[in-house]
Structure 1
Amino acid sequence: MKNSWVKSLVLFVVLVAGGIYAYKVEYLGEIKKTAADNRAKKILSLDPKSVTKISISAHSNKVELVREKDGWKITAPVEAKGDENAIEGLLHFAVEASASDSATGNPQEYGLEPPMYRVDFFQGEKSESLLIGQKSPTGSSVYVKTSDRQEIMLADASLFHGVAKTLFDLRDKRLLDWKESDIGKIELTRDKLSVTLEKQADGKWRVTSPANFPADEREAKGLISSLLYASAVEFADGAPEQTPEFSKPQAKISLWKSGEKRTFVFGEESKSQNGTLVKIEGGGTIAVLPSTLVARLPKTADDLRDKKVFALDGNTITGIILKSGGRELELKKDDKGIWQTLKGAPPLESVKASNLAFSLSTAETTALFGEKEFKEKGKGPSAEVTVRTSAKTFTILASKGSDGKTLYGSEPKEGKYFAFDANELAEFLQ
């Protein structure tokens, strides 16, 4: 019995020792071998973070890029900001590129002498060069070599698409590298329209010319983002800034940031018909942006106006008071979100009260009037409509038009006269 127990213990120790040996020697050894093999197959021995300059040559064309403190910059054939994602992507493909096989013969046979593309990576005084030739007959691989090795290698065809980049591919397609949150003023001139928007101390946008009224936040921010994130479809490098295409601009839009001003000038359609010629005034760069950008620009100041009758979120409404023809209806929302009728008979169902609150919170003006024009409109008796939140109270005078459908509203103290939509309110007005 004792001998059997001892034999079992010895067998267990042997198995454990064998497992440890297999793990350390065979499994970890295989991992190290695989890693070593992968390193051996790597085409370049680049540290992407230490690359300070890249030069790409394709036939007679050459693009040079330099890494600066604030990012990559194109220095030739033009000076321009580089596309960070595109350039870092190029580096990634080059660093990760590995050889799947090798070939023998004259480099000329494989499009490597001269190469279709030559990419030089500079790391201080050191440099490594990647030469890219033609694709293999199947199209799944591409022939490559380095400047310091005679070996002709095959790499995955994705390397060709990842590294063989043009000037346009590597260029930042945006015309202005500003942050949306830094913009404090917008000036738009188009046809007979001239409008100015300014960001207020509370961060809200307001139209300050030709009239003074709250701006539609989505429209104001959308206008800014459409300019800052518009992507050029081509560039007209070398073209003089004073060209016939800009003699009669379709539009001018100025953005202000802490006293700095940049003006987008929209000229004619490009000769390639790919879009509209656009430049930053005094900047020298002329780009072609999608024509849809011009088509979507505001045509009137009214397009930029905040069309909400009540500047509030529907969820914040806590009370509604309607006074019309000696009648009064007062509604209040309790802590559980249930609407109660405090005044008026018969009591209004909570669902209908909720629908009324939603209708008022989403009501939008459909037209603006001067006081004289407003008074000439055929309207029924006015009702006083008050909407309350925990922080503020809003009151307007509302009435139905003679057609029984149009709603008119006014805030005489503010000098505001308008037509608006609020279907649920219409049935409460006599």
Structure 2
Amino acid sequence: MTLETKRLLNLIVLALVGAIVGWLVFWQRGTTEVKEEQKQAEQKLLSIIDTRAVVRLTLTTPQTEFVVEKEGEQWTLTTPLRLRADNATIEGLIAHVSGLERQRLVGEENGGQVEPPQELWMFALEPPRFRVKLEERGGAAHELLVGKKSGFDGSVYVKRADTPAVAMVDGAITYQVDKDLFQLRDKRLVDFAEEDIVRVQVSLASGAGYTIERTDIGFFLRAPQSLPANEAQVSGILTALASAKATKFLTEAANPEDMTRYGLDVPTASITVVDEANKSTTVLLRTVDVKDSRSHYAMCEGETSPILELGTDWLLKKIVVDVATLRDRRVLRFNRDLVSAITVSHGEAELAFARSWNKDKSRDSWQLLRPENIPVEDAILTGLIYRLWSLEGRDVNDAPAPEDFTTAGLDVPDTTIAIQGADGATIGTFLFSQKSQVSENNRFVTTDAKAQIATVDGSVISELSLSPDDYRVEEQ
């Protein structure tokens, strides 16, 4: 046998040994994982594979019994009262109980088996402190009895209703099942999705108020004036309303006497929201001074509505605002993503930019078209669009007379910036005066619609270069 043949055989043997070792390692790992999965399955108390299949929960506590049923995506308390349940609390309870794993079995070991104890009362399992029953779609039911805590490590004694075995589980189970009606119910003042709201109407005890409507281009004030509304302010109002929660339920179904007792017959404020389906919900708010403190009460208008106590007056503060706060003070409202062209004019100088998009809309690219055709830095144009989009007036004249434009120097503007949409149509044109007489840092501005004159920060113009070189893409 030649030396080369011996070397070849050695290599083949080494390769075979390596393959066998690799297979053994893989087999051992797979076997270990299977054993671990089997061990976890054996330790799991309830055989619930998917908690989404659970459609009914019965929780029996020392005080009462609660029944909660799933209706669509919403959990509803049906016993002792029919109320909207707190989805997060119910789903958290179901997930915790479904995933319970025993830490150890309780009883005397005999021949490798643990004999369950007969004196269940010693572990507060007969009768149990708590009883949890989960019912799945299709009829399968799982019932767990929860007893007392161990004095040694805080773990809790539990038992399935259909087996004699008693097990110890993590003590967190007590927190999950020791619930009262307040903890299980939905504590929100009103249930709605902010994106569904198309109209907001607020009435104040002072006689003031306002109405806001959603349009295709955003929210607009409709009363007491017709003006664009500040999107952040409107969103803040709706967020405050959607997140308002009870710290206490004072009545379950308010009657006129209850409303008078808590001052809701003469509310401090009311807010009505209307959704796309024309469903209207009115919330009444009242703040009452009680000795050295203030109490804040709320309810939804209707015969079956409970009266809630709120923890703070945050909601009231969000809705009690004036028109000056609610209005959108931006000079021109537009969608930044739809701007496809910008033309800047100052005297004889003119810069014309055009935007193009990749097919997947993942990135836009800007090009200077006039006075020369060159690629430009995208970030500079993106920054200019943002500054124009966010440009707010400090002092706004909403009803300017023709002579006001002359006084402001807007009859012959110093600088104009026109922006166009993706379809080539003009979105709007900003007309800037020279420096304001009030301050050299300010300028007057209007748009081609000439609906108002505003005083704005003039840096948007003073920092705007008219030299193509300042926009040119730098050579790498």
1:286 corresponds to? 307
2:342 corresponds to? 318
2:458 corresponds to? 422
Indicate the larger mover: 233-242 or 55-64.
Answer: 233-242
Give the residue type in structure 2 aligned to 1:193.
Answer: A
2:191 corresponds to? 177
1:4-403 correspondence runs (5 A): 34-47=36-49, 48-104=51-107, 106-123=119-136, 127-190=141-204, 191-200=206-215, 202-238=216-252, 240-242=254-256, 243-244=259-260, 245=262, 246-257=264-275, 258-268=277-287, 276-282=296-302, 284-289=305-310, 290-312=312-334, 316=339, 318-322=342-346, 330-333=350-353, 360-369=388-397, 371=399, 381-382=409-410, 384=413, 385-391=415-421, 392=426, 393-396=428-431, 398=433, 402-403=437-438
Seq. identity, %: 21
Contact kept in structure 2, 1:57 and 1:63, CA below 8 Å:
yes
Relative to structure 1, is the Cα distance of residues 212 and 100 closer, same or farther in structure 2, using a 3 angstrom cutoff?
Answer: same
Deviation at 1:154, TM superposition (A): 0.6
Contact kept in structure 1, 2:332 and 2:447, CA below 8 Å:
no
Give the residue type in structure 1 aligned to 2:221.
Answer: V
CA distance in 2, matches of 1:118, 1:199: 49
CA distance in 1, matches of 2:366, 2:408: 33
Q: Deviations along 1:340-378, whole A, 9 cap, x unmatched?
A: 996xxxxxxxx9999887654432122334648997999
Relative to structure 1, is the Cα distance of residues 234 and 420 closer, same or farther in structure 2, using a 3 angstrom cutoff?
Answer: farther
Relative to structure 1, is the Cα distance of residues 46 and 404 closer, same or farther in structure 2, using a 3 angstrom cutoff?
Answer: closer
* SS, match of residue 154 in structure 1: strand
Give the residue type in structure 2 aligned to 1:204.
Answer: G
Deviation at 1:71, TM superposition (A): 3.3
Q: Deviations along 1:309-329, whole A, 9 cap, x unmatched?
A: 13246784622335xxxx665
CA distance in 2, matches of 1:37, 1:359: 61
Deviation at 1:67, TM superposition (A): 2.2
Relative to structure 1, is the Cα distance of residues 35 and 424 closer, same or farther in structure 2, using a 3 angstrom cutoff?
Answer: closer
Deviation at 1:286, TM superposition (A): 3.1
* SS, match of residue 99 in structure 1: coil
Deviation at 1:73, TM superposition (A): 1.2
CA distance in 2, matches of 1:153, 1:220: 54
* SS, match of residue 308 in structure 1: coil
The two structures have a TM-score, normalised by structure 1, of 0.76
* SS, match of residue 394 in structure 2: strand
CA distance in 2, matches of 1:168, 1:414: 56
Relative to structure 1, is the Cα distance of residues 354 and 203 closer, same or farther in structure 2, using a 3 angstrom cutoff?
Answer: closer
Q: Deviations along 1:211-270, whole A, 9 cap, x unmatched?
A: 112222232233223323444444334252542321332321111123221112222369
Contact kept in structure 2, 1:378 and 1:401, CA below 8 Å:
no
* SS, match of residue 130 in structure 1: strand
Contact kept in structure 1, 2:430 and 2:446, CA below 8 Å:
no
1:404 corresponds to? 439
CA distance in 1, matches of 2:46, 2:418: 69
1:348 corresponds to? none
The two structures have a TM-score, normalised by structure 2, of 0.70
CA distance in 2, matches of 1:356, 1:32: 60
Relative to structure 1, is the Cα distance of residues 352 and 119 closer, same or farther in structure 2, using a 3 angstrom cutoff?
Answer: closer
Relative to structure 1, is the Cα distance of residues 423 and 30 closer, same or farther in structure 2, using a 3 angstrom cutoff?
Answer: closer
2:361 corresponds to? none
CA distance in 2, matches of 1:394, 1:401: 19
Deviation at 1:120, TM superposition (A): 2.1
Contact kept in structure 2, 1:262 and 1:280, CA below 8 Å:
yes
